[in-house]
Structure 1
């Protein structure tokens, strides 16, 4: 829902120009009203670059504190939105250079059984986390610039973001600013304090690398469409009953199973089947899936039944990637603390 613009003492609505003027004079409420329409989109921007929901929220807070501290010196050479993106992008790049932002529970994670040899291993852990749709729904409508090459739904998908994380940080930022948000090359050069030629060169390298990482596929069903609901319902029945064959019948031939941040990839029907049969579903129907949504894709809070009492214990977040009427990827995030971002508890009583 759009916020109603604030009114002054006379009852007239204050324009963004009025808010900027009073914010520069030190009025905190005017500053909050001025930046509020951009807060959630800035968080998604930071998430695209960092891959972490919590890190993105932290960086947005840092961005807004820096903006408040520097509002008096804002010279209006760009829009407020572009100025905020400049601060946020550079804060994200600094965070990536520092290399200190990492999930806390990865080191403590241990599988209950030995994991089978994966199809292949990534060079390093994947720090990508799922992003709740409920947060995406809060973004104020801002139409990307005419040069944007990706629709919003595609640019928050796990496949796109996983490929994005493989790019060097600066290429990652350039591609997001140009191809996702549609900023002009000159604007991106100003945001990154570089030249237009450097932006164009980085963008060309990023596009080439991303094209290699992202296969061309049939479109996914529309969110909450009858086709998507049918696939999700069939999957839940099969998974909760421990029916490995039924799940495998729903997969594409090159389907992938991953468990971020572990750098293990199980790809192809045989490897995914073996993993499901020997690890995920080895004890049959012990799982309960609580539906939610992440990255505009079907997702679930995963819980395991305790045979000794009526308690369901958290077992990560599972996200499905769909193409046509098939599942192309199963991504299980092993960090149970992620459940809180989806409003789900660590345990449930049945």
Structure 2
């Protein structure tokens, strides 16, 4: 069935025809919502709201813009509503038994941040972008980029993502946001400046190619050091300005010395881990499993690494609720 026939059937109330119309855009819309909201769960909720609104409004779709642009308009406005709500995930207190961490450098703002599985990115990472896009697809889903977006005003986030990440023209974005081209250009200028100021420590480090031999070697060294609790080997892998964070716990550590003290507090408590490799946000990641005396390792979290040159410039630890999103078990036999 051709698109025109599908549209006619969808407008007549055919749910299968509607699903066929929107399916090609579903994956990229979810990534768009994730960039806007920084949370995989919130992104899925916003996507479902978008599809429901599109289904309810398909009869009024006049075709003046493409189906893709129309869906992005709906998704963006659903995300703006979510950004303005007070229902974002709250910070949690430090809850690791028998571990007394050092005083953090600071308390993070984006405690709702969640990782995004690379398996969900495969369908969109090579999607065509508009001619005015300024970011590579992999860069625009990195944890550092998504985190920086979360502290910008909502409309600035929307404009920057639509213009610089997706490459929509200024007049298209103005129409999506019921705004003017001048207002869009002004918001974009402010968003770019704010994003530049929010660059995390180590942002100027050059990252090796994803899945390259250099990245693989660093990741393998990290796994050996972490699993064997070899603090010296671990610290040797870190950049001077390494950045550790652990949402929804707001503690953030900047610098090798503080990171070493934090890791030492973990290892000193006798905590030993098995790591299972995966990938998140275009970056190497691990499911972390705490070994127990009964021979079972229990999932405690997900680590996402940022590799810079031949070192690690950042590590973000998420809680174990993320493991199922990556197809990882809650527990496994200890090695």
1:133 aligns with 2:115: no
For the Cα contact (< 8 Å) 1:239–1:285, is it kept in 2?
A: no
Q: Which residue of 2 aligns with 1:120?
A: 106
For the Cα contact (< 8 Å) 1:40–1:135, is it kept in 2?
A: yes
1:228 aligns with 2:215: yes
For the Cα contact (< 8 Å) 1:243–1:284, is it kept in 2?
A: no
Residues 265-274 or 22-31, more deviating = 22-31
1:143 aligns with 2:128: yes
Q: Which runs of 5+ in 2 are unaligned?
A: none
Count of paired positions = 331
Q: Which residue of 1 aligns with 2:85?
A: 98
Q: TM-score, normalised by structure 2?
A: 0.95
Q: 1:180 to 1:88 in 2, by over 3 A?
A: same
Counterpart among 35, 57, 78 of residue 22 in structure 2: 35
Q: Which residue of 2 aligns with 1:155?
A: 140
Q: 1:140 to 1:238 in 2, by over 3 A?
A: closer
Residues 319-328 or 19-28, more deviating = 19-28
Q: Which residue of 1 aligns with 2:322?
A: 338
Q: Which residue of 2 aligns with 1:10?
A: none
- Determine the C-alpha separation between the residues in 1 that align with 2:257 and 2:205: 23
Counterpart among 255, 272, 288 of residue 302 in structure 1: 288
What's the Cα RMSD here?
A: 1.6
Q: Partner of 1:152: helix, strand, or coil?
A: coil
Q: TM-score, normalised by structure 1?
A: 0.91
- The alpha-carbon deviation at position 100 of structure 1 amounts to 0.8
For the Cα contact (< 8 Å) 2:110–2:151, is it kept in 1?
A: no
Deviations 1:91-139 (A, max 9, x none): 1111111121326xx54761222321112223x3421100000010133
For the Cα contact (< 8 Å) 1:241–1:285, is it kept in 2?
A: no
Q: Which runs of 5+ in 1 are unaligned?
A: 1-13
Residues 39-48 or 256-265, more deviating = 256-265
Alignment of 1:26-65 (within 5 A): 26-65=13-52
Q: Partner of 1:245: helix, strand, or coil?
A: helix
Q: 1:242 to 1:284 in 2, by over 3 A?
A: farther
Deviations 1:213-265 (A, max 9, x none): 12652432222211111111111000101011111111111001111122221
- The alpha-carbon deviation at position 285 of structure 1 amounts to 6.5
1:290 aligns with 2:276: yes
